[in-house]
Each structure stands twice: as structure tokens, then as C-alpha cells.
């Protein structure tokens, strides 16, 4: 079997300081194949967002090993980790995190340009076309609807052509119909580009659209840690 896109081995992760320190991830092991889509479900506060932060290298675990696209994150220093994240991982959040003083085009192009990509503005325009926002490139976030803002965020996340897309409740701030169209778009773009997807959602129906559902509770995986292929490989 080829190298998995994502491999976690016994990850423990705590956040906060002193008395406020909370042990959030309590021994998470997980393998996700390249190109697989995984829905991550679980109660609020169970640690889903923290797990995505760990996958993105935005939070470091206390112990355990994280390997993404064959690269061990533990071995990377902060600068190397930031470069790795920029190249390999796209993230979209429930709140869109757009920069309010930049147009849609600039929100997508400036990060590309900072990463040293050639033709950043032309590429950003292509990405905005791909998410259906050709006519909104010059708009500022405040001039866009929630669904349109999430499309910009999606274009920004996918512009560097990451092999992994992480989405943390991407429809949480949208009405049902708009959310549905964003999800359709995420699945369509993922399919076109062959990216691995980890989608955090409260919605079991949504998770069921993924190849596999992982259920999370109190910082632990309660089902779905291994895909059938991986389970067969170790048995």
C-alpha cells in the first residue's frame, strides 16, 4: 500500500497554561489514504478542531507522531513547518477569516504572492472562477454574502494546489441551501484535484457523503480510525 496522506500515532495534545491546561487529544491514532475523504463527527468540545490544528501543524502534540504526505511534522522547525503547510495543506473554517481590507482577488492572490508563486494574481483569478465568483473579484468581504465569502476562503485554501484539504464545519455559519452548495463545491473541487479531504461536521448526513466517517468523543476516536483497506493490510 502506498504511503498514507495522513498518519497519526498515539497523539496526545494539551492546550492552555497552568491550572487552565486541558488534556484534549488522548491517544489518537489514525491513517487516511491519499485521495480519501473522511468525515469527522463528534460532540462539541470533543476535540475535533484541535485535531485539525494538529494535522495542519498549527498546534504541536505533547507526544506521538504525525506524518503528512510522507513528512514527519515533529522533525520540522517553525519556518519549515509554515512552508510545508502553505504548500501541502489548505484549510477552511466556519468563520471565513478573510482580510476585510482586501478584495476577493487580493485575499486569494496575496498569500500566493507571499509564498513566492509566479503569476499570483492570474492564478487567483482562475481560482475565483472555479468557485463561481468571476463577477465578484473586486468586491470586499463586507460586500459579499456569507456563501460568497466562504467561496473566496475555499479559493484561497485551494490556490496553492494543496494535496490535503481540511474543513472545520465550513457550513456552520451558512443557511442550509447555501451550505449545501458549498459542500457540493468542496466535493467537486476535491474530486477534480484528487485531494485528500478531512471534513469536520455536526451533520451525519454530510459525513456520510465522505468515503469514511470517523467518530470522535472526549479526545478519542470511537469508530472509523482505520479504513477497510488499512484494516486488511494489518490483519
Interface residue list for ligand ADP (CB under 6 A): 15-16, 20, 22, 24, 42, 44-50
Q: Which does 44 bind (CB under 5 to 8 A by kind): ligand ADP, Mg ion, none?
A: ligand ADP
The answer to whether residue 37 forms part of the interface with Mg ion (CB under 5 A) is no
Q: How far is the CB of 4 from ligand ADP (least distance, A)?
A: 23
CB-wise, 20 or 177, nearer to ligand ADP?
20
Give the residues across from 166 on adjacent strands.
Answer: 91, 198
Q: How far is the CB of 229 from Mg ion (least distance, A)?
A: 28
Pairing outcome for strands 89-92 and 164-168 = parallel
Q: How many residues bind Mg ion (CB under 5 A)?
A: 1
Q: Which residue is nearest to Mg ion (CB)?
A: 49
Q: Which does 46 bind (CB under 5 to 8 A by kind): Mg ion, ligand ADP, none?
A: ligand ADP
Q: How far is the CB of 73 from ligand ADP (least distance, A)?
A: 18
Spatial neighbors of 181 by CB under 8 A, at least 6 apart, are: 147
CB-wise, 22 or 80, nearer to ligand ADP?
22
C-alpha span between 221 and 105 (Å, rounded): 39
What's the order of all strands across the beta sheet hosting 6-15? 22-32, 6-15, 63-68, 71-72
CB-wise, 216 or 227, nearer to Mg ion?
216
Pairing outcome for strands 63-68 and 220-223 = unpaired
Q: How many CA atoms, within 13 angstroms, populate the side-chain half-sphere of residue 146?
A: 15
Identify the residue among 46, 49, 150, 196 touching Mg ion (CB under 5 A): 49
Q: How far is the CB of 52 from Mg ion (least distance, A)?
A: 8
Residue by residue, DSSP assigns 81-140 as HHHHHHHHEEEE-SS----TTS-HHHHHHHHHHHTT-TTHHHHHHHHHHHTT-GGGTT--
Residues that bind Mg ion (CB under 5 A): 49
Amino acid at each position: 500500500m502506498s504511503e498514507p496522506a495522513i498518519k497519526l500515532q498515539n497523539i496526545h495534545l494539551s492546550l492552555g497554561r497552568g491550572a487552565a491546561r486541558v488534556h484534549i487529544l488522548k491517544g489518537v491514532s489514525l491513517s487516511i489514504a491519499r485521495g480519501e475523504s473522511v468525515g469527522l463527527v463528534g460532540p462539541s468540545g470533543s476535540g475535533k478542531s484541535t485535531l485539525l490544528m494538529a494535522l495542519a501543524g498549527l498546534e504541536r502534540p505533547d507526544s506521538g507522531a504525525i506524518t503528512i504526505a510522507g513528512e514527519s511534522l515533529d522533525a520540522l522547525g517553525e519556518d519549515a513547518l509554515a512552508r510545508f503547510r502553505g504548500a501541502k495543506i489548505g484549510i477552511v473554517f466556519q468563520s471565513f477569516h478573510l482580510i476585510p481590507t482586501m478584495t476577493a482577488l487580493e485575499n486569494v492572490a496575496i498569500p500566493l504572492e507571499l509564498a513566492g508563486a509566479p503569476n499570483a494574481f492570474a492564478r487567483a483569478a482562475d481560482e475565483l472562477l472555479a468557485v463561481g465568483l468571476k463577477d465578484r473579484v473586486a468586491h470586499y468581504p463586507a460586500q459579499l454574502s456569507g456563501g460568497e465569502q466562504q467561496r473566496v476562503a475555499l479559493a484561497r485554501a485551494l490556490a496553492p494546489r494543496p494535496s490535503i484539504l481540511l474543513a472545520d464545519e465550513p457550513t456552520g455559519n451558512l443557511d442550509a441551501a447555501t451550505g449545501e452548495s458549498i459542500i457540493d463545491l468542496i466535493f467537486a473541487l476535491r474530486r477534480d484535484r484528487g485531494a485528500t479531504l478531512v471534513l469536520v461536521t455536526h451533520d451525519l448526513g454530510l459525513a456520510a457523503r465522505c468515503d469514511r466517517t470517523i467518530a470522535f468523543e472526549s479526545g478519542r476516536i470511537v469508530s472509523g480510525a482505520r479504513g477497510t483497506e488499512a484494516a486488511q493490510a494489518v490483519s
